[in-house]
A = this chain, B = another copy of it.
Amino acid sequence: MKSTKSKPCEAWQLLVKFFFTQRADLPTLASEFELSPAQCHVLHLIEPDRPIPMGRLAEALACDASNVTGLIDRLESRGLVRRRPSADDRRVKSLELTPAGVRLRSTVLERITKPPDSLGRLSADEQRALVKILKRLLD
């Protein structure tokens, strides 16, 4: 059965499996900072010194504008994010991180971007090969 499975199928399933093995604890990690996974995602998308309009955030999150209102309400109430009116268009609210938000973002991202130990245990050749392949996949 497994011998007849195509390589792309096999690779994809292994990749999915690996990813979920590593990601199973994202909610736990997020809750360390009293954040939900979605809130971590939002903090990631709002870059320091790069305000983003609410609508752009909704696009990036691929969700409804009203949902973003709630997400931002809660982060704003925690002093992590600020709404700012846009100078160009009075309908638009721009979102920026507060200094506290910048600090928390940095801490959270440091944790989230930490590679799994298993990646460090690959040989240098394997690591290089993996990076090369992944770059090609993203082209």
* A122 B126 Cβ-Cβ under 8 A: no
Q: Quick check: is A8 within 8 A (CB to CB) of the other chain? A: yes
**Alpha-carbon distance between A46 and B104 when the two chains are bound, in angstroms:** 39
20 A/B residue pairs, CB under 8 Å, sorted by A: A7-B119, A7-B124, A7-B131, A8-B115, A9-B114, A10-B131, A11-B119, A11-B130, A12-B113, A14-B135, A15-B15, A18-B134, A116-B137, A118-B136, A118-B137, A122-B133, A122-B136, A126-B136, A129-B129, A130-B133
* A133 B138 Cβ-Cβ under 8 A: no
Q: How far is the CB of A134 from chain B (nearest CB, A)?
A: 4
Query: Which residue on B lies nearest to A139, using beta carbons?
Result: B118
* A7 B127 Cβ-Cβ under 8 A: yes
